[in-house]
Structure 1
């Protein structure tokens, strides 16, 4: 016996005051509706209706059970409306995980702006540099969305490109005066390199493209020696293995270390923008373009993506473009790095 159908038949009979009318409203036969009510009374062990040829009257038990049924149906309708709202507008709680440096400098402003636009949505932003752990982050930690610079290539998640974030190679003028200025990427093997890591490796691959042909004036300004006549100019992707004695998984820390004169570092431009503007850091190898990294929004694969996730991803794409934090499409593919 379908408990829900028998409850529905009972409520319809009471509201209509007739088995025949209730059966018509439900699209069932009168005999089936009558059987539903009889089966319900048998299961409960109580008479719910006093029947006569002219009227139907609720018993005391029937009145109590009717109140219970109507409360159940109201709860079902309320919950269904709530679920539908999650598909139509951002509601509930949106829990985000993002890298600490990027989150502190930029994402927190975006999340605050988004939260002001969505008063019915609670937002939880977690900033940390622990490696993204796939299904664990979404299941055990209850995350809705992870922002990272590393692709998972997993069928269980969706990865949306948010923006291509520009990276820069830089060092302090003091360090370059002591150690000399690299002329080509291969020269970095002779320099102290400050390396971004998630775990502590012995080396890292830095990627470049170029060189471009600078003017003599720009060469002099950058402290570069003009190329020798007849020298062959290498173009295209260049990968250089660098080694260093200083490692960190935080771009801000690497930027501070570089500004202190510890060596050359490769970090997101946003992490060192103030130092570059102040002159405490300068670009290294300006003729070579550093590979950009794509910021990804990662969330679980599902038949229907929650509206709160869709809304934030759409908002963040526009916000990143408006604030000129990254380019929407990367120009150079790069090895994935979480920052």
Structure 2
């Protein structure tokens, strides 16, 4: 009897794992040369191995991810191929596969040049931020952070836990006096990790909110997606609090078409926070086709934000599956 129960447990475990391996979505963004359906049909074995390695061996996951990216670019049609595995708060798994075609690379990867300098960490605030990021994420994942109210313009997982309170005190005491140094790091540091941390830390610098947004402008076209994500995330929180702030809107629109899933995500939430009166017809012509691609390809949870932006701008109440209606409306605006 005990043997039968053991077999039953093993069988259930195997079936659950098998279901998890096949239950994932795919987004193929930035190209029509290959579709999500084709990728799932041709590379399902590689994707299932990747999914298993994601949970069991991250080092091997990174190696196999690079191998699959190279396979996807065997025809050398792309300047950029990148696979992200995105797990939502509801535990839904999506492979986000971003492509940049060769003839679009100059436009879609038009980043600013960082004049690299090796800059020191002032009062160890960056080291402290990295420690805070690790600790707060772990606490959040363990369900130990319930209250994420934020005492400054922007927080990641907030500071509402006894283990995190000392970090907030440290930032309050040391960030404002090092604002100039953090700005220099944001502009010039040869470390993307330092530039990313500076973007988050400047939310603690007690800058006037418009000054903070202006200071973060260089992050929007930074060559690192981590820095772009951090800067636009802080800008989003600022705009959410005051949607009349002056923001580098053309840069945000350009970032919507940068290669990374997180670029689209953060540009979308900024656009989502603005009234339609903020957009010129030329701007609409530039970003409506990108919104349509995000919606049409059901780009993980980005498509919901794209749908919200379209509804805000158009005044229409088409659903996110009314692709033909949205296409017709967009064509009427653009042409």
**TM-score exceeds 0.5:** no
Bin the TM-score by the shorter chain: under 0.3
TM-score normalised according to structure 1 size: 0.22
Query: Considering only CA atoms, is the larger Rg found in Structure 1 or Structure 2?
Result: 1
* Greater relative contact order (CA < 8 Å, ≥ 6 in sequence): 1
- Higher share of residues assigned helix: 2
TM-score normalised according to structure 2 size: 0.22
- Higher share of residues assigned strand: 1
